[in-house]
Amino acid sequence: MNIKKTVTGNTAVMEIEGWLNTQTASELGEALETLESNVTELIIDMSALEYISSSGLRKIVAAYKKLEGHLTIKNVSPEIMDVFNMTGLSKKLHII
């Protein structure tokens, strides 16, 4: 998995590529932990994400909690959107 992070003002954008699973979820966790303290909004671009497991979902929920809901997920494939729908996270998260 690759994560490309850019920060503009108080908004961070993370582009995630590959598989977000048990082996790679810690990488996302580390990227979230290193967000600057002035970041108040996070956009996660999943246009290149091929797969997400429950471990990856936990990191997404952790980001949601850390940023008090100021999280947007965009460019979600139909397969990954199915996972968000099955878990009910599509009702809680802002997905565009």
* Residue 60 CB coordination number (10 Å): 22
Integer Cα distance of 90 and 22 in angstroms? 21
Q: In which domain, by residue range, is 80 found?
A: 2-95
Sign of CA dihedral 18, 2, 47, 64: positive
Look up the CATH number of the domain holding residue 45.
Answer: 3.30.750.24
Q: pTM for this structure? A: 0.95
Q: pLDDT digits over 82-92, tens only?
A: 999 999 999 99
Number of domains in the chain: 1
Integer Cα distance of 60 and 28 in angstroms? 9
Q: pLDDT digits over 58-76, tens only?
A: 999 999 999 999 999 999 9
